[in-house]
Structure 1
Amino acid sequence: MSRSDGLPIRQVLPELLGVLDRVGSAVLTSPPGTGKTTVVPLALTEAGLRVLVAEPRRLAVRAAAKRMGVSYTIRGERHTGANPMVEVVTTGVLLQRLQRDQELPGVDVVMLDECHERHLDADTALAFLLDVRDTLRPDLRVLAASATPDAAPWSRLLGDAPIVRASGATHPVEIVWTPPARPTAPPHGLRVDPALLSHVAQVVRQALAERDGDILCFLPGTGEIAKVAAMLGDVEVLQVHGQAPARVQDAVLSPGSARRVVLATSVAESSLTVPGVRVVVDSGLAREPRTDHARGLGSLTTVRVSKASANQRAGRAGREAPGTVYRCWTAAEHERLADHARPEIALADLTGFALQAACWGTPDASGLALLDPPPPAAMTAATRTLHTLGALEPALNTPMPSYAMDDETDRVTWRVTERGRRMALVGVHPRLARALLDLGPRAAEVVALLSDQLPREAGDDLVEIWRSARHGRDGFTARWRQEVRRLTRSTPQARAAERDMTDDATAGLAVALAFPERVARRRGGGYLMASGTQAQLAEGSRLGEAKWLAVAVADRPTGSASARIRQAVVIDEETARQALPVTTEEEIAWRTPPGERRGDVSARAIERLGAIELSSAPLKNADVRAAILYGLRTEDVLTWTKEATALRDRLAFCHRELGDPWPPMDDLTALADRWLEPELSRARRRADLERIDVATALKRLIPWNRRLDEVAPERIAVPSGSRVRVDYSGGQPVLAVKLQELFGWTETPRIAGVPLLVHLLSPAGRPVAVTADLASFWRDGYRAVRAELRGRYPRHPWPEDPLTALPTRRTNPR
Structure 2
Amino acid sequence: MQLPIEEIMPSLIARLREHPNAVLVAAPGAGKTTRVPLALRDEPWLAGRRILLLEPRRLAARTSARYMAQALGEQVGETVGCRVKMEAKVGPRTRIEVITEGVLTRMLQADPALEDVGLILFDEFHERSLHADLGLALSLQTQNLFREDLRMVVMSATLDAAAVAEMLGGVPVIQSEGRAYPVETRYLNRQMSGRLEPNVVQKIREALTQDEGDILVFLPGAKEIRRVEAGLLESSLPANTVVAPLYGALSQDAQDMAIQPGVAGQRKIVLATSIAETSLTVEGVRIVIDSGLMRVPRFSPRTGMTRLETTRVSKASADQRRGRAGRLAKGVCYRMWTEQEQRGLTAHTTPEIREADLTSLALELAAWGVDDPAELAWLDEPPKAALEHAQELLIQLGAMDSGRKITSHGRELVEMGLHPRIAHMIRAATDRGLTEVACELAALLGERDILRGRAHLDADLRLRLEALRSVGQKGVASLAGVAVDEGACQRIWQEASHFKQRWVNRQKENYEAGDPLSQIGSLLAEAYPDRIGQRRDSGKYLLRNGRGAVFASEQALAYAPYIVAAELDDQGTDSRIVLAASVTEAQLEEVCVKSIEEETAVWWEKSSQSVRARKRKRLGALILRETPASQADPEAVTAALLSGIASEGLGLLPWNRSARQMQERLVFMHRLDSAWPDVSDEALLAALEEWLGPHVHGCRSRDDLSRLSLTAILEAMLSWKQRRELDEHAPTHIVVPSGSRIPIDYSSPQSPVLSVRLQELFGWSQTPRIGMGRIPLTLHLLSPAQRPVQVTRDLASFWQNTYFEVKKDLKGRYPKHYWPDDPLQAIPTNRTRPRS
| 396, 416, 419: which one aligns with 1:388 | 396
Q: Map of 1:635-646 to 2, 5 A cutoff?
A: 635-637=647-649, 638-639=652-653, 641=655, 643=657
1:30 pairs with 2:23? no
| 532, 541, 544: which one aligns with 2:555 | 541
Work out the CA distance in 2 between the residues paired with 1:729 and 1:94: 80
| 668, 674, 684: which one aligns with 1:659 | 674
Offset from partner CA, 1:229-272 (integer Å, 9 cap, x none): 44554366443333233344223323445555544333333344
Work out the CA distance in 2 between the residues paired with 1:776 and 1:693: 43
> 3-state DSSP class of the match of 1:415?
coil
Work out the CA distance in 1 between the residues paired with 2:725 and 2:604: 41
1:323 pairs with 2:337? no
> Displacement, 1:145?
1.0
The letter for the 1-side match of 2:546 is: G
Work out the CA distance in 1 between the residues paired with 2:187 and 2:765: 90
Q: In the alignment, what sits opposite 1:698?
A: 714
Q: Map of 1:259-658 to 2, 5 A cutoff?
A: 259-275=267-283, 276-284=285-293, 286-292=295-301, 295-319=303-327, 320-328=329-337, 331=340, 334-362=342-370, 364-393=372-401, 401=402, 412=403, 414-417=405-408, 419-440=409-430, 441-442=435-436, 443-455=438-450, 457=452, 458=456, 459-470=458-469, 471=471, 474-491=486-503, 492-495=505-508, 497=510, 499=512, 501-524=514-537, 525-557=539-571, 559-560=572-573, 562-582=574-594, 587=599, 591=603, 601-620=611-630, 622-625=632-635, 627-629=637-639, 631-632=641-642, 634-637=646-649, 638-639=652-653, 641=655, 643=657, 648-658=663-673
| 229, 254, 257: which one aligns with 1:251 | 257
Work out the CA distance in 1 between the residues paired with 2:822 and 2:316: 94
> 3-state DSSP class of the match of 2:24?
strand
Report if the CA contact (8 A) 1:711-1:751 is conserved.
Answer: yes
1:680 pairs with 2:680? no
Change (3 A) 1:678 1:570: closer
Work out the CA distance in 2 between the residues paired with 1:680 and 1:392: 45
Report if the CA contact (8 A) 1:551-1:569 is conserved.
Answer: yes
| 85, 88, 98: which one aligns with 1:75 | 85
1:176 pairs with 2:187? yes
> Displacement, 1:619?
4.7
Offset from partner CA, 1:54-79 (integer Å, 9 cap, x none): 11111222332333334322211234
Offset from partner CA, 1:474-519 (integer Å, 9 cap, x none): 4422321221222112113312645455232342332122222333
Report if the CA contact (8 A) 1:32-1:147 is conserved.
Answer: yes
> Displacement, 1:540?
0.9
Change (3 A) 1:698 1:155: same
Work out the CA distance in 2 between the residues paired with 1:25 and 1:177: 44
How many residue pairs get aligned? The number is 756
Report if the CA contact (8 A) 1:221-1:287 is conserved.
Answer: no
Decide which moves more: 422-431 or 60-69.
Answer: 60-69
Q: In the alignment, what sits opposite 2:4?
A: 8
The letter for the 1-side match of 2:247 is: H
Change (3 A) 1:298 1:750: farther
> Displacement, 1:33?
2.4
Work out the CA distance in 2 between the residues paired with 1:532 and 1:733: 53
| 118, 138, 141: which one aligns with 2:128 | 118
| TM-score, normalisation: structure 1 | 0.79
Change (3 A) 1:671 1:22: closer
Q: In the alignment, what sits opposite 1:186?
A: none
Work out the CA distance in 1 between the residues paired with 2:787 and 2:337: 71
| TM-score, normalisation: structure 2 | 0.77
Decide which moves more: 615-624 or 57-66.
Answer: 615-624
Report if the CA contact (8 A) 1:63-1:253 is conserved.
Answer: no
1:668 pairs with 2:674? no
Work out the CA distance in 2 between the residues paired with 1:310 and 1:740: 97
Task: Percent identity, please.
Answer: 36
The letter for the 1-side match of 2:289 is: V
> Displacement, 1:15?
0.7
> 3-state DSSP class of the match of 1:61?
helix
Decide which moves more: 720-729 or 125-134.
Answer: 720-729
Offset from partner CA, 1:744-791 (integer Å, 9 cap, x none): 999999875578999999xxx9999999999999xxxxxxxx9xxx9x
Q: In the alignment, what sits opposite 1:782?
A: none
Q: In the alignment, what sits opposite 1:241?
A: 247
> 3-state DSSP class of the match of 2:406?
strand
Q: In the alignment, what sits opposite 2:16?
A: 20
Work out the CA distance in 2 between the residues paired with 1:135 and 1:254: 44
> 3-state DSSP class of the match of 2:506?
coil
Change (3 A) 1:286 1:508: closer
The letter for the 1-side match of 2:5 is: I
Work out the CA distance in 2 between the residues paired with 1:454 and 1:159: 45
The letter for the 1-side match of 2:507 is: A
Q: In the alignment, what sits opposite 1:65?
A: 65
Work out the CA distance in 2 between the residues paired with 1:746 and 1:261: 113
Change (3 A) 1:111 1:646: farther
The letter for the 1-side match of 2:290 is: V
Work out the CA distance in 2 between the residues paired with 1:725 and 1:199: 88
Work out the CA distance in 2 between the residues paired with 1:64 and 1:526: 50
> 3-state DSSP class of the match of 1:544?
helix
> 3-state DSSP class of the match of 1:635?
helix
Work out the CA distance in 2 between the residues paired with 1:379 and 1:104: 27
Report if the CA contact (8 A) 2:295-2:308 is conserved.
Answer: no
> Displacement, 1:337?
4.4
The letter for the 1-side match of 2:536 is: R
User: Which structure has the greater CA radius of gyration?
Assistant: 2
Work out the CA distance in 2 between the residues paired with 1:285 and 1:733: 75
> Displacement, 1:571?
2.5
Change (3 A) 1:263 1:584: closer
Decide which moves more: 117-126 or 567-576.
Answer: 567-576
Report if the CA contact (8 A) 2:425-2:524 is conserved.
Answer: yes
Work out the CA distance in 2 between the residues paired with 1:122 and 1:516: 29
> 3-state DSSP class of the match of 1:242?
coil
The letter for the 2-side match of 1:30 is: A
Gaps of 5+ in 1: 183-193, 394-400, 402-411, 778-785, 798-802, 807-814
> 3-state DSSP class of the match of 2:521?
helix
Q: In the alignment, what sits opposite 1:151?
A: 161
Q: In the alignment, what sits opposite 1:167?
A: 177
> 3-state DSSP class of the match of 1:392?
coil
